[in-house]
Structure 1
């Protein structure tokens, strides 16, 4: 016969109960921004898609900052949040760039290999990190996926400045290079772990949002 204390330890919390955890709310807000980025990519409204992509990164970084400042979070809270981040990351940093590439190429089948490379590199990168975590130097092995979105939204500023065929080449080569770096053995620092970097990203996000909002007018 279980005592009340033992019984309470075996009861699993309700799935929806984790939604009230503030870091998870930040993660879900980022997922909504990702959905907007995919939606506008499919519609071909790429400037709006860029705004969604960079805000997805901002919320991704914010959830870690909030989680570190919160007290009283249980081991299960941290474990659930970590798993939620991984699931959202494959959508934000794998599916979204793949859809963006396909849409910019007007869904021509010849762009499927590159889109698959981006998606596969993201899946491999996340699986590797989930298995091994940070290296002994507290650095990532391979370029962290959030950098893909940070760089791609900057590269896309060249759209409309460069001739279309040159920009397309630059854009696709950038995406291919990022995928290669994602699965490389290079060591990169965990930028989101530094509060100063989070604030720098916030300024970058506001700047990118202002530029692309102006382009939408």
Structure 2
């Protein structure tokens, strides 16, 4: 039996209750696109994988835009949403590119170090951000991971244009370069925090989707 001097016990919300939060639904939609990207990477349907990768970014940016415009979100909603984003980001921007590189290399063990570097850089980058957040200039330290997918789907347009050997070198060098930038000390703006940039990404996503859908025909 509680007394007046004892604080009322706060009931914790159920785990699944956070799914109905619209920004979290956007995050999960992005995760669904990521699963498709991984599946198509493994099966070698790379053009479809590119579509999944860019839509994962689109939904990632959309959840932030929706969250900023929503009213009535609790502190728990924001904290949970932030943690959900971090977990999904490591899959979308770390695991997915690593699987893509391994698959494109026919799962030859020689490419395991490259895949590890990409995934490790993503994990380190996210751990640093979750610890220190944005810099004093409200900028990211290191290249934000969503840029990896944005650039990789663009670079992959060269596949089929360049000889396989040359394109493979460009792809793997690009992946290593992006990983190095992810953990560098460069300062980059938070592009997803600007509504105009979100609409630009939406246009880019539609164009990329159209190009790769045409290539799939």
TM-score (norm 1): 0.97
Distance (Å, rounded) in 2 between the aligned partners of 1:173 and 1:18: 40
Q: Which runs of 5+ in 2 are unaligned?
A: none
RMSD over aligned Cα, in angstroms? 1.1
Provide the rounded CA distance (Å) in 2 between the counterparts of 1:35 and 1:10.
Answer: 36
Q: Which runs of 5+ in 1 are unaligned?
A: none
Runs of 4+, deviation exceeding 2 Å: none
Q: Are residue 39 (structure 1) and residue 39 (structure 2) matched?
A: yes
Counterparts of 1:144 and 1:28, CA distance in 2? 20
* Aligned mates of 1:66, 1:44 — CA distance in 2: 34
Number of residue pairs matched by the alignment: 215
- Please tell me whether residue 106 in structure 1 is matched to residue 106 in structure 2: yes
C-alpha distance in 1, partners of 2:159/2:203?
22
Q: Deviations over 1:90-111 (max 9, x none)?
A: 0000000000000000000000
* Equivalent-residue separation in structure 2 for 1:170 and 1:77 (angstroms): 41
1:26 alignment partner in structure 2: 26
Equivalent residue number for residue 154 of structure 2:
154
What's the counterpart of residue 69 of structure 2?
Answer: 69
Report the counterpart of residue 166 of structure 1 in structure 2: 166
CA distance in 1 between counterparts of 2:203 and 2:3 reads 54
State the partner residue of 1:55: 55
What is the TM-score when the length of structure 2 is the normalising length? 0.97
Q: Deviations over 1:73-103 (max 9, x none)?
A: 0111000000000000000000000000000
Which residue in the other structure is 2:129 paired with? 129
Measured after TM superposition, the shift of residue 2 of structure 1 is 5.9
CA distance in 2, matches of 1:20, 1:176: 38
Hey, what's the Cα distance between the residues in 2 that align with 1:97 and 1:165? Answer: 19
